[in-house]
């Protein structure tokens, strides 16, 4: 089982100096992740989502991280692949360049960039996104196989050499952002990894993994986007770890509440996220935020789905290292190939995030790397 981190560049203070500091802080976290034993870092691509994600140019962020590291893999989690965001050949050129500069350490996830806030900035229509993501993946998986590439489909591309070529031949491993059962099934049918980016907890991850495995077992291969399939299941793990487990839970839950309020603001139009205070009653703040979501859904006259407020679920790896090991053990038992730690959330101080990374690297990851040696939290370095 592998361990990774994902970055949104999320922030409560959106002033220019604070924004710049958060982005630099994310680089510092990624460098530390390599030092303590993480296998990969992922960076999202989002646009115009104040508070929620200021990571609008992940290829630049990942290049900077690659230059500061030597071992850890770097991942687009994800490239927004509808054509209005990124023409597939421009995405391919940037992917190949970063793969070369990183020495073949790049992984590539695909996503829809599905908030209307983002789509409206780039002229993307929701009804076009799935077909365009699929076509982009097919283009990226094929564009370096011959001296010149041509394509007929939603896009018509006359013969051109696509340069440079990546180190990983014929292309870096491919993944799909998955937030629901349908997209997990689609990832399996396309023959690519599933990046499961949900907060509902272990039960939802178990359902997603069962769906992914069943789709792999029954697929014919006709919908593969590449002849190099990548069956990989990565599950999100929100986490804050400190020696003081109560403090870790308080800080982590507040950060997740901010995260959830931010994405609900852009998805539904609920009030903007609140930074709150260090001594806030997080349970009460979450109840209020969930009430805002229910009220907005009712106002919009749309059905209330069972997972409408799952982003506010705080039963994750918050606490001390033993708490984290217990939660990650659940995910390991489900059969996850990768634990994708969500550490960087808007209200969490940098020193807490750095300590969480150290605790994960020194105490949690060794537990799962050393089952045969029966390493415990107290034995780990």
pLDDT digits (tens, 9 = 90+) for 28-66: 999 999 999 999 999 999 999 999 999 999 999 999 999
Q: Is 182 helix (H, G, I), strand (E, B) or coil?
A: helix
- pLDDT tens, residue by residue, 272-283: 999 999 899 989
Residue given tokens 């606490």 in the structure block: 319
Q: Which residues contact 367 (CB under 8 A, 6 or more apart)?
A: 325, 375, 376, 377, 380
Q: Considering the domain 2-243+311-373, what is its CATH architecture?
A: Alpha-Beta Barrel (3.20)
d(CA 372, CA 366): 11
Residue 193 β-bridge partners = 175
Mean pLDDT of 115-132: 97
Mean pLDDT of 73-91: 98
pLDDT for the residue 287? 95
pLDDT at 1 over 60: yes
pLDDT for the residue 376? 41
pLDDT for the residue 380? 35
Band of pLDDT at residue 307, cut at 50, 70 and 90: confident
- pLDDT tens, residue by residue, 196-244: 998 999 999 999 999 999 999 999 999 999 999 999 999 999 999 999 9
Asked if the bond preceding 170 is cis, omega within 30° of 0, the reply is yes
Mean pLDDT of 160-164: 98
pLDDT at 132 over 80: yes
For the chain, which residues make up each domain, given as ranges? Answer: 2-243+311-373, 246-310
pLDDT at 306 over 90: no
| Longest Cα–Cα distance in the chain | 62
pLDDT, averaged across the chain: 95
Q: Is 106 helix (H, G, I), strand (E, B) or coil?
A: strand
DSSP string, 29-94: HHHHHHHHT--EEEE----SBTTTB----HHHHHHHHHHH-SSSEEEEEEEE-STTT--HHHHHHH
pLDDT for the residue 371? 66
pTM: 0.95
- pLDDT tens, residue by residue, 58-81: 999 999 999 999 999 999 999 999
pLDDT for the residue 381? 32
Nearest to 31 by CA among 361, 282, 291: 361
pLDDT for the residue 373? 52
More confident residue, 378 or 265: 265
pLDDT for the residue 38? 98
d(CA 138, CA 174): 10
Band of pLDDT at residue 15, cut at 50, 70 and 90: very high
């Amino acid at each position: 089982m592998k361990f990774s981190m994902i970055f949104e560049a999320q922030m409560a203070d959106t002033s220019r100096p604070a924004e710049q500091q958060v982005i630099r802080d994310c680089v510092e976290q990624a460098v530390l992740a390599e030092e303590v034993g993480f296998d990969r870092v992922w960076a999202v691509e989002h646009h115009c989502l104040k508070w929620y994600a200021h990571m609008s140019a992940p290829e630049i962020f990942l290049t900077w991280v690659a230059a500061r590291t030597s071992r850890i893999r770097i991942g687009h989690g994800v490239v927004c692949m509808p054509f209005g965001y990124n023409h597939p050949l421009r995405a391919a050129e940037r992917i190949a360049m970063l793969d070369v500069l990183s020495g073949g350490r790049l992984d590539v996830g695909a996503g829809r960039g599905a908030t209307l806030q983002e789509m409206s900035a780039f002229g993307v229509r929701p009804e076009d996104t799935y077909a365009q993501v699929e076509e982009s993946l097919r283009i990226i998986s094929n564009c370096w196989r011959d001296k010149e590439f041509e394509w007929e489909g939603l896009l018509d591309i006359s013969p051109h050499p696509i340069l440079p070529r990546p180190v990983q031949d014929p292309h870096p491993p491919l993944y799909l952002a998955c937030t629901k059962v349908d997209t997990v099934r689609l990832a399996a049918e396309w023959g690519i990894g599933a990046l499961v980016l949900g907060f509902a907890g272990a039960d939802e991850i178990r359902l997603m993994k069962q769906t992914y495995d069943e789709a792999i077992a029954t697929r014919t291969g006709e919908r593969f986007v590449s002849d190099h399939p990548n069956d990989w299941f990565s599950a999100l793990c929100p986490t804050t770890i400190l020696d003081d487990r109560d403090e870790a839970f308080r800080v982590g839950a507040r950060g997740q509440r901010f995260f959830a309020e931010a994405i609900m603001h852009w998805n539904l139009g609920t009030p903007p996220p609140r930074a709150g205070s260090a001594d806030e009653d997080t349970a009460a703040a979450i109840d209020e935020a969930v009430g805002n979501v229910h009220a907005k859904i009712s106002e919009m006259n749309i059905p209330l789905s069972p997972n409408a407020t799952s982003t506010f679920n705080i039963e994750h790896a918050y606490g001390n290292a033993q708490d984290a090991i217990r939660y990650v053990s659940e995910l390991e038992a489900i059969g996850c190939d990768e634990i994708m730690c969500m550490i960087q959330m808007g209200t969490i101080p940098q020193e807490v995030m750095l300590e969480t990374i150290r605790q994960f690297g020194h105490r949690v990851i060794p537990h799962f790397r050393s089952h045969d040696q029966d390493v415990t939290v107290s034995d780990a370095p």
